[in-house]
Structure 1
């Protein structure tokens, strides 16, 4: 059997954009009568039958925002969602979570499937917490779905796509300087995979600090989940000595490291100091309380939702005026947030 014709086939035959073809077949505004007739004739000749359910979805009022995460076990996302939901609520929109690394392991296949699902469900916009492929960003753009990145950079080719990030290099140098101030000269950096773009600058910063303060540094990599962090650090300690300080690159790495240290009865900070990235609600309640480099993920969620809301409202206004609802990004949509080292007792203070 031959493959069923698609909307993309109609677009190719007519030389018109998928946006124009979709609106023509859905009897929506912004398309001339001649164009509408050309599209309908091409669809008939190809044997393309519009999906009425999908057409109705395209007529929605842009009520659903998807937050793409990579393992919701990270408390960073929980606090970020608070900010997103609080900001979206007055607009009548809701946020749904799409986890593309539920067990901490990212796959391109799952990313592609998730993006397809978001297009089919006609999401109003996307907030992505890890770098998506350029293909995914461009496909969402073709369907007029704006994207805002948080805590990760967009693909290098997507220069105008909004992003809220931290200067992870400078932040890691600050962590290293604090460790050096205690006189620690033997550090271990427990890192997640480089698929998350923050990894590179966090590692680069801690390496720079170790050279600057003449400290010995080991870097070990785990998958981005608690169990993997636990197994990776356990295996390392089975074959090596205990470092004087551990820097855990995010919440799952902190959780895994704490399990290992607790099981082996290593005293924090007397035997090994511990610093983590990103604060969380129970960090001050640990014994000892955890020193963290915090970037206030709840406020980042607020900022991301505010940017996305403005873009979506502009799209709605464009549609009302008969113009294509292309996402309109602004230079101010690229932002840097300043981290804060919250000093507690786990570092030795």
Structure 2
């Protein structure tokens, strides 16, 4: 249904109908009520995008994430959504499901909607990852903030986790627990997040001169690959002193594999990055290096909003520190 359909229905001009819908104070009450009643009857819904094109003012922000089923991003999205509402913005969320092709489509879609800005968590933070859309974003000069995973470029503001500190904190805990052998379930080897967390872990042992036997099994920050790697390790009749999961889904995958192999939690010390969601309900306590994910989302929106208000503002970086939760 369009304004033209309503105008034909009530026998009035398009201009009169448009005024009744958009500037009701400029139309006689009787006329206005007749038009609004017809709009309800016909199921008319305003075209927000067309309205934006007319006004040249968009209240839409794009949010691109590689995995909405990751508990980390669930909290981040909640924070961004709430902050956007406070400033009268609406979020358009696109989940790329870890696909570079879908990420390319997501960026093109958001640019076609002429969004006010984009918060982006790319599918990869590998140093060599250079998506084709990067030049498009630079050319449009659209406000962009990268979150958690970042492209290895100097452009754009970013909100990142202190991944080195997260690895160091858990490494120090493992040293205190007198653990010398660790199975590390990580993201991709080329991921800079993986590399920084791994470096922090090793540094904790090097700092006190304690030897560490470490085996790394890379995955993709999701549950199933971590489950398969943990199960494969156990099938070789090996049992590590400790398992270190590099995010919540990896830790959960490892714990499921241990459970399926009938290995009790007292037999293997499990640690991970960030809290396990709702674990306390089941009396499960896993030591972790936790980040304030809600703050990460809030800061991402704040940086984006600053650039929307002032396109000349210099890019900035906000680092979310890690805290040991034991």
TM-score interval, normalised by the smaller of the two chains: 0.7 to 0.9
TM-score, length of structure 2 as denominator length: 0.76
User: Is residue 2:228 matched to residue 1:231?
Assistant: yes
Which of 318, 327, 330 pairs up with 2:314? 330
Q: What's the Cα RMSD here? A: 2.3
C-alpha distance in structure 1 between counterparts of 2:191 and 2:94, whole Å: 16
C-alpha distance in structure 2 between counterparts of 1:111 and 1:282, whole Å: 30
Residue equivalent to 1:25: none
User: Is residue 2:144 matched to residue 1:147?
Assistant: yes
Distance 1:57 1:187, change over 3 A: farther
Contact 2:62–2:91, Cα closer than 8 Å, also in 1: yes
Q: Which structure would you say has the larger Rg?
A: 2
Distance 1:129 1:240, change over 3 A: farther
Q: Could you report, residue by residue, the CA deviation over 1:134-159 in whole angstroms, capped at 9, with x for unpaired residues?
A: 64233123223221112123323xx2
Contact 1:164–1:335, Cα closer than 8 Å, also in 2: yes
How far off its partner does 1:169 sit? Answer: 1.6
C-alpha distance in structure 2 between counterparts of 1:89 and 1:281, whole Å: 25
Residue equivalent to 2:24: none
Which of 73, 76, 85 pairs up with 1:80? 76
C-alpha distance in structure 1 between counterparts of 2:133 and 2:81, whole Å: 24
Contact 1:62–1:312, Cα closer than 8 Å, also in 2: no
Unaligned runs of 5+ in 1: 1-52, 315-326, 344-349
Q: Could you report, residue by residue, the CA deviation over 1:158-200 in whole angstroms, capped at 9, with x for unpaired residues?
A: x241111122123212211101101111101101124643112
Q: Could you report, residue by residue, the CA deviation over 1:85-138 in whole angstroms, capped at 9, with x for unpaired residues?
A: 1111121112232112x2xxx333222222111111222211122347364233
Contact 1:279–1:296, Cα closer than 8 Å, also in 2: no
C-alpha distance in structure 2 between counterparts of 1:330 and 1:180, whole Å: 42
Distance 1:204 1:226, change over 3 A: same
Which of 238, 242, 247 pairs up with 2:239? 242
Contact 1:137–1:147, Cα closer than 8 Å, also in 2: no
Unaligned runs of 5+ in 2: 1-48
User: Is residue 2:182 matched to residue 1:190?
Assistant: no
Distance 1:237 1:142, change over 3 A: same
C-alpha distance in structure 2 between counterparts of 1:87 and 1:55, whole Å: 23
Residue equivalent to 1:174: 169
Residue equivalent to 1:203: 198
C-alpha distance in structure 2 between counterparts of 1:58 and 1:185, whole Å: 65
User: Is residue 2:247 matched to residue 1:262?
Assistant: no
Pairs aligned (count): 271
